[in-house]
Amino acid sequence: MRASDLKRAQALAAQLDATRAMAGRLAAGERLHFVVGDGERASEIVASDSYAKEIAGALRTALDMRAAHLADELRGLGVDG
């Protein structure tokens, strides 16, 4: 593997780990926090439980798709994801 491929594989692996961790936290039922703004100007958006679960489900699907894509890219570089 070329050095540039190695760096890319390391970056992809880090992204895959982070993506899987977030998906796992959602699957475990961790509460979502919706925040608009930063610092002192930040405001939390409060959503109903059912709406938050719907959003969490959509996020979970998106994260699972992202993880599959990252794993495919790693396999393309010869690394098992």
Q: Name the pTM for this structure.
A: 0.82
Examine residue 19 and state whether it is found in any structural domain, yes or no: yes
pLDDT over threshold 90, residue 24: yes
Interior angle at CA 23, CA 74 and CA 67, nearest 5? 20
Q: Which residue has the tokens 């039922």?
A: 29
Which of 26, 15, 13 lies closest to 61 in space, CA to CA?
Answer: 26
With cut-offs at 50, 70 and 90, classify the pLDDT of residue 80: confident
Could you give the number of structural domains in the chain?
A: 1
Examine residue 81 and state whether it is found in any structural domain, yes or no: no
Contact status, residue 17 vs residue 66, Cβ threshold 8 Å? no
- Domain residue limits at 21: 3-76
Contact status, residue 16 vs residue 74, Cβ threshold 8 Å? yes
